[in-house]
Amino acid sequence: MRVDAPASQRGPHDASAPSIPTAGWARRVRDAHPAAFVLGAAVVVWIATFAFLVVRRHDRFWDVDFDMGIHDQALWLLARGRGFVTVRGLQAFGHHATPGYFLLAPASWLGAGPNFLNVVQVTVLALGAVPVYLIARARDLAPWASAALGTAFLLHPALQFFGWDLFHPELIAITPLLCAYLCATRKSWRWFAVWVVLAMAWKEDVALAVIVLGMIIAWRGDRRVGLTTAGLALVWFVAVTFVVMPAINGGVLQSEGIYTGVGGSAGGIAETALSDPGRITARVFASESGDFAWRLLVPFGFTPLLAPVVLLIGVPQFLIDVLSDVPWTRMITFHYAALPFTALAIGTVEGVAFLGRRLGRPARIAAPLVVLACALFGTLAWGPSPVGAEYGNGWWPPPEDTRLATKRAAIKAVPEGASVSASYTLVPHLTHRAEIYSFPNPWQPANWGVPGSPTRSPKRVGWIVIDRQVQEREQELIDRILANGNFKVVLDRDDLIVARRVRG
């Protein structure tokens, strides 16, 4: 039986079934349609391209403390039974609910660091094209049409920026969510449960998408499975968001600070919606929000709009994104777009399938080609890949860095395990230790903990590694620290300073 035969043509007595039993995966590979191999090749090219770029970004010191340093130190600490992330000034699970870290702990024991995390993420992101293809096949789209939609997924500039954004747990959740939806279409509920749990393990916000997915499943007829899924996801979200994380952080949710304009906490936002709804609607319908939606929709050819029920999966996170006080939550260039993007990827397949059912074979051929053309436009106009217009606009490190050797020497000068305060561009190279602070911490609190968090004594710092070119505001503090006699400079070259504590 050919794996890629439409569901309506499959049967136990398919004439193409082999007469000699074959191992399951070997048989699937042998019977796969050429379109699947073409999509597989596209996945490999995508992984190779962005794996090279993200490794180069880290190796050339173009990643920073927020968030590469946070996640790498959190993983390193948790793999060793610790939990206080000094880059952020919070316990790892006070920052976000990410038990998925433990899945990567064995790699940390073997010495894996940012490059490993970033390449794993690039690989997982690209593999999302596989469930997109399989969902399309489950909706009886032809193999080449399905491969076109999988390729469009890879060409979307948002997915490419997710790779650029480096390791963020919710980005890892994209592919498990797509796999969960695929299993729901097949009514493969055991695997559905596995993928749902895996998706929610990466960040508390993912549970919001799962709640809506469960309600959609219930609405489609599988009430028990759907309501159970939605109910358990709701319990998890409420428990970790309103009980566990505030308890860890002394009663405060760390993300409240970027929602002060609409009330701060969930209760405050709800109160604002009732007392002054204009403050809410002004942000929802702002030009920034419209541009955010536009750039998400255009590369998918607006076809997700034909599947409005599926789009509800991404609505909670979309609202969270557009209600914040900061602009970067409503840009396709950052991880905040992960869940809306996932919903749109599913909606693209469902929208194309809808056109095929309504308009017949011409639409089944034309619609995937239109989506592919729109995705190609998106990647050329907005994408950070080597063929995209944004590639040379400062997203990736330049070919030459005259200070690169000095930066590497500065990192190498710091003993393993020593406590360090470093410039934010150097932090991701020093995270495998119990104490690594983002300068000017701990001398001056900056992006540290939550309001009211106790600071730490500078006496805990044994080494400082400073790039004066990125610490322009702290020049006076740097000079004062170096002048008080507590530190001895061991490297001072190319505006990079490494000093070790000798007293105090």
443/2: higher pLDDT: 443
What is the distance between the alpha carbons of residues 496 and 273, in angstroms, rounded to a whole number?
49
Mean local confidence (pLDDT), 93-115: 97
Residues 353-398 pLDDT 10s? 999 999 999 999 999 999 999 999 999 999 999 999 999 999 999 9
pLDDT of residue 467: 98
Cβ neighbours, 10 Å, residue 291: 13
- Identify whether the C-beta of residue 203 lies closer than 8 Å to the C-beta of residue 98: yes
Mean local confidence (pLDDT), 122-130: 98
Longest dimension (CA), the chain: 85
Residues 24-56 pLDDT 10s? 667 777 778 999 999 999 999 999 999 999 999
- For the chain, the structural domain boundaries read 1-32
pLDDT of residue 31: 78
pTM passes above 0.85: yes
Question: Looking at the predicted structure, is the pLDDT value of residue 251 above 60?
Answer: yes
CA 196 remoteness from chain centre: 16
What is the distance between the alpha carbons of residues 186 and 180, in angstroms, rounded to a whole number?
10
How does DSSP classify residue 325?
A: S
pLDDT of residue 226: 98
What is the distance between the alpha carbons of residues 446 and 461, in angstroms, rounded to a whole number?
16
Mean local confidence (pLDDT), 319-347: 97
How many H-runs (helices) and E-runs (strands) does the chain carry?
Answer: 24, 7
Residues 397-423 pLDDT 10s? 999 999 999 999 999 999 999 999 999
**pLDDT classification of 23: cutoffs 50, 70, 90:** low
What is the distance between the alpha carbons of residues 172 and 340, in angstroms, rounded to a whole number?
14
Residues 334-357 pLDDT 10s? 999 999 999 999 999 999 999 999
Return the closest-CA partner of residue 428 out of 123, 191, 153, 167: 167
Mean local confidence (pLDDT), 74-100: 97
Sign of the torsion angle spanned by Cα atoms 17, 20, 25, 30: negative
